[in-house]
Amino acid sequence: MKLKSVKKIISFIVLMLVMLSGCTAAQKDHYEEAMKYMENGDKANALVSIDKAIEADPENAELYVRRAYIKMTPDKDGVLELDVESVLADLEKALELDPNNEEAMTGVYYAEVYRNNYAEAVEKLEGLIEGKDISSETQELLKEAEEGNISDLLGRIRTTTYYRDGKLVWKEYYDYGKDNRVSSIKAYDENNSLIGQVDVQYDTFGNHLQWASFTEDGDMFREEHVYDDKGREEGYEMYRMDGSLYCKVSYGYDDAGNLIREEYDYAGSDKQVMLAEYDDEGKKLSAHYYDGEGRLLYYYLLNYDEQGRVVRTDNYDENGNLKGYLIQNYDEKGNWLGYKRYDAEGTLVFESAND
């Protein structure tokens, strides 16, 4: 659950705002001044400059759109304190002046996402684009949102869904603090009943001290992680939502820092041990799982693409028979989108999404 760096976020939004057409010399001067401030992370002065540009031409829809997006940008310290009503006022003014302004339409969607109004965000975007010729990017944005996979303008995951055999199993909702880090994770089942909530905690290095995890059946756990003085994880404990211990996990590393051993001590049942192998470049090649008596239970073999990303993981039983495989999905920019798990015959049995 990694967030883009503040510098990348600001650069991305500045790039979105660069093009401005139909402006006077005075508007252009104020606008270019605002962009320079944004490039330096000076959001406050950027807003002052864009205000002047709007004063010079209050009928320019694009200027209102750009002011709204600047407002939705964190400051140079990564802090985002957003007045959503102010953002929506700018976007609604822009749509009043130019009903076909697509950036204004998606801006309305992102503004509602910021205040966790996910259903309203989808409904508003559907209404705004109805009957209009919109880009494939906005069509894909709406498609993902309608499926329950929503990210905000900063690339932070807000909601994501998990399916088995084509049926919804559970949904996750993420809240964020002013520092843009995940502050809590909530999960709901297919009937929209609360499964549980985990309040996320961090150490001074930014490592997760408390996090959430799930089984493919939708069971939710609270993880409590432990690190050494170098910030390397030593292991974690998993607790059910009723507070009972489910499992203790401990890690072992080789001299190169590769995680080569994981020990799972399940409360009330046998232990399991995972042993991993790596190539000379540090890529994980395989993971073999054994019971407490040292008997092989199953193993995984990992496959990579030319960019060094895991694209397929094959799962075999103790006799070397294929049990199934996972396919990892990425977008054109290399961002991980989720995975699909298939059985040995190639039938899809589970699907995650992580837009």
Question: For the chain, how many structural domains are there in total?
Answer: 2
Mean pLDDT value across the chain: 89
The answer to whether residue 127 sits within a structural domain is yes
Whether the predicted pLDDT of 4 surpasses 50: no
Least confident of 123-127, 230-234, 273-277, 322-326: 230-234
Distance CA 248, CA 327 (A): 28
Higher per-residue confidence, 108 vs 25: 108
Whether the predicted pLDDT of 79 surpasses 90: no
Please indicate, yes or no, whether residues 337 and 274 belong to a single structural domain of this protein: yes
Please indicate, yes or no, whether residues 137 and 176 belong to a single structural domain of this protein: no
Distance CA 300, CA 311 (A): 13
| Terminal-residue alpha carbon distance, the chain | 11
Please write the tens of the pLDDT for every residue from 121-168.
999 999 999 999 999 999 999 999 998 999 998 888 999 999 988 899
Quick one: pLDDT at residue 114? Answer: 92
Q: Are 160 and 175 in contact (CB under 8 A)?
A: no
Structural domain that includes position 50? 6-150
Quick one: pLDDT at residue 178? Answer: 78
Listed in sequence order, the residues at least 6 apart from 29 whose beta carbon sits closer than 8 Å to its beta carbon are none
Please indicate, yes or no, whether residues 226 and 322 belong to a single structural domain of this protein: yes
Please indicate, yes or no, whether residues 188 and 295 belong to a single structural domain of this protein: yes
Quick one: pLDDT at residue 20? Answer: 53
Task: Using alpha carbons, list the distances in angstroms from residue 317 to 75, 116, 143, 296.
Answer: 51, 43, 37, 8
Quick one: pLDDT at residue 355? Answer: 41
Quick one: pLDDT at residue 339? Answer: 92
Please indicate, yes or no, whether residues 104 and 239 belong to a single structural domain of this protein: no
Quick one: pLDDT at residue 297? Answer: 97
Higher per-residue confidence, 268 vs 108: 108
Half-sphere exposure of 24 (CA within 13 A, CB side): 11
Please indicate, yes or no, whether residues 237 and 308 belong to a single structural domain of this protein: yes
Quick one: pLDDT at residue 336? Answer: 85
Please indicate, yes or no, whether residues 186 and 63 belong to a single structural domain of this protein: no
Quick one: pLDDT at residue 203? Answer: 93
What is this structure's pTM? 0.80
Quick one: pLDDT at residue 230? Answer: 81
The answer to whether residue 292 sits within a structural domain is yes
Specify the residue for token string 């992370």: 41
36: phi then psi, degrees, rounded to nearest 5: -65, -40
- Mean predicted confidence (pLDDT) in 17-23: 51
- Mean predicted confidence (pLDDT) in 56-61: 90
Distance CA 45, CA 34 (A): 7
Please write the tens of the pLDDT for every residue from 201-216.
999 889 999 999 999 8
State the CB neighbour count (10 A cutoff) for residue 11. Answer: 15
10: confidence class by pLDDT, cuts 50, 70, 90 = very low
Q: Are 87 and 96 in contact (CB under 8 A)?
A: no
Please indicate, yes or no, whether residues 276 and 327 belong to a single structural domain of this protein: yes
Quick one: pLDDT at residue 354? Answer: 55
Q: Which DSSP category does 243 fall into?
A: S
CATH number at residue 188: 2.40.128.720
6: confidence class by pLDDT, cuts 50, 70, 90 = very low
